[in-house]
């Protein structure tokens, strides 16, 4: 299917190296922000008193709820920005700054406040159903994921193939998140918490670079819009 779409659109100007760069960038960003492997120890801690069947059901619900939230912001995110009078370049800068903060927390091995605060973590430990909170919101479909969704959909909107790339990146990242949460005990045994921290730091470097690129793109677009450069 992917190869058919690729060859069908080879004559279009946007399907070349730029398209593949955009696709890879979208996947890496969504994968890093959602951080499937980093979800494993969280799920282990929050579902230690559940059976495997209960854990699997919770993980599945959390994934579907997250998909619904992401889809909502993919469809109406740009509309909300327009209604609030927020230009896309401003959201690029703000979203990039938010993602950079997430990246810094990943680099220093800290729990990001954009995903879950200490108070929210303590509340989650006493909840029977954690699929909506804190797994779907804010662990998977948190502010970073929502900002990333609006940013990439905004960039891809003029080009159908780029929208396809964003959708594929989101679906792939959510699938990997579901797989990691479902296999959380296996991941902890095989990789260990130290291994997860090392991987998170590597992903944090990538996310920091992508976040800065978002901000630079926003600044460049703003400068062009006010006529400083053409």
In a domain, 30, yes or no: no
* Residue, of 164 and 128, whose pLDDT is higher: 164
Residue 43 within any structural domain of the chain: no
Q: What single string gives the DSSP state of each residue in 72-124?
A: HHHHHHHHHHHHTT--HHHHHHHHHHHHHHHHHHHHTTPPPTTT--HHHHHHH
Query: Is position 83 within any domain?
Result: yes
Please report the pLDDT score of residue 228 as a whole number.
Answer: 65
Stretch 33-47: mean pLDDT, rounded?
91
130 pLDDT more than 80: yes
Q: Is the pLDDT of residue 5 over 70?
A: no
* Within a domain: 97: yes
How high is the pLDDT of residue 48? 84
- Which pair of structure tokens corresponds to residue 146? 């929502």
Q: Sign of dihedral through CA atoms 163, 167, 173, 177?
A: positive
More confident residue, 65 or 46: 65
In a domain, 165, yes or no: yes
Q: Which domain holds residue 145?
A: 50-225
Token look-up 């980093």 returns 38
When pLDDT is cut at 50, 70 and 90, the band that residue 144 belongs to is very high
End-to-end CA distance of the chain: 39
Tell me, yes or no, whether 129 lies in a domain. Answer: yes
Residue-wise pLDDT tens digits, 155-201: 898 788 999 999 999 999 999 999 999 999 999 999 888 888 888 88
Neighbours of 8 (CB within 10 A): 11
- State the Cα–Cα distance between residues 35 and 82, nearest whole angstrom: 30
pLDDT tens digit string along 145-156?
A: 999 999 999 989
Number of domains in the chain: 1
Mean pLDDT for the stretch of residues 23-34: 95
Tell whether 87 is covered by a domain: yes
Distance CA 154, CA 166 (A): 10
In a domain, 25, yes or no: no
């Amino acid at each position: 299917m992917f190869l058919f779409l690729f060859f069908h659109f080879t004559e279009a100007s946007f399907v070349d190296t730029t398209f593949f760069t955009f696709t890879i960038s979208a996947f890496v960003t969504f994968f890093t922000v959602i951080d499937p492997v980093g979800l494993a120890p969280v799920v282990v801690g929050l579902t230690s008193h559940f059976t495997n069947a209960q854990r699997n059901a919770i993980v599945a619900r959390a994934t579907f709820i997250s998909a619904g939230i992401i889809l909502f912001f993919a469809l109406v995110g740009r509309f909300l920005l327009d209604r609030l009078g927020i230009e896309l370049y401003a959201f690029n800068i703000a979203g990039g700054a938010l993602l950079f903060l997430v990246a810094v927390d990943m680099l220093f091995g800290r729990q990001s406040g954009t995903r879950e605060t200490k108070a929210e973590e303590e509340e989650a430990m006493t909840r029977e159903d954690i699929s909506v909170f804190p797994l779907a919101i804010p662990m998977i479909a948190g502010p970073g994921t929502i900002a990333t969704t609006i940013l990439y959909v905004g960039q891809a909107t003029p080009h159908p193939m780029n929208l396809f790339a964003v959708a594929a990146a989101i679906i792939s990242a959510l699938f990997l998140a579901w797989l990691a949460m479902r296999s959380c005990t296996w991941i902890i045994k095989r990789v260990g918490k130290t291994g997860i921290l090392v991987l998170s730091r590597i992903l944090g470097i990538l996310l920091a670079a992508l976040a800065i690129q978002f901000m630079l793109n926003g600044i460049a677009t703003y400068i062009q819009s006010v006529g400083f450069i053409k």
